[in-house]
Amino acid sequence: MFMKKKTIISQTITFVKQQLKGDATGHDWWHVHRVWHMALTLAEQEGADLFVVQLAALLHDIADWKFHAGDDKKGGVIARQWLESLGLEEKVIGHVCQIVSDISFKGASVATHMKTIEGKVVQDADRLDAIGAIGIARAFAYGGYKKREMYNPEIEPLLHQSFEQYKNSEGTTVNHFHEKLLLLKNRMNTQSALKIAEERHQFMEVFLDKFLKEWDT
């Protein structure tokens, strides 16, 4: 059974690499790779099912709603199709697909609670990759892809009240820090992730302070 699981993980890695090939928005294979490894680290500390965690981490961005017309269900559909093709039992498939469907941040005032420790671990790993030095780089990569201004002092950040409002936002990249990234530290599900998030959060605050000082120089 161990070798079968190892083969399934290997096949899923190949599948995800192929699906995300050529991405330059910060949602590429290497983002998935980092989330996968962080999720494994957190799972070992939190006592989560390593097989479910690995599959969910690897498939969590297989069809991100940001690149599929706002459809936040598509990722779960594609994940299910892939896992069924591997002949996995429904208990595992349903669990993984639930995590993939529920993982995304959907606005400052929108709750995105995970139902299981496996979901909490994968969501934390994904959110950790959205903050800190890599999070900063990813934010500006995505902002460039969306043709957003880096910063505009005339445009105030918004704390979105609904998913519809959040996904239709056209704010600046710097506003995105206030609308999402700076909120993530206090939304970590596990103490293991919170410890890592604190340093990354502080780094973002230092960066933004420096950015605004240079902007006004």
pLDDT digits (tens, 9 = 90+) for 88-123: 999 999 999 999 999 989 888 888 889 999 999 999
- pTM of the predicted model as reported, rounded to 2 decimal places: 0.94
Residue 153 backbone phi and psi in degrees, to 5:
-60, -10
CA-to-CA distance for 77 and 63, rounded, in angstroms? 9
Residue with tokens 């460039």: 144
208 confidence band (pLDDT: 50, 70, 90): very high
Residue 186 in this model has a pLDDT that exceeds 90: yes
- 101-114 burial: b if 16+ Cβ within 10 Å, else e: bbbbbbbbeeeeeb
Q: Candidates 3.50.50.60, 1.10.3210.50, 3.90.1300.10, 1.10.260.40; correct CATH number of 2-215? A: 1.10.3210.50
pLDDT digits (tens, 9 = 90+) for 133-179: 999 999 999 999 999 999 999 999 988 888 888 888 888 999 999 99
Residue 108 backbone phi and psi in degrees, to 5:
-55, -35
In the chain, what percentage of residues exceed pLDDT 70? Answer: 96
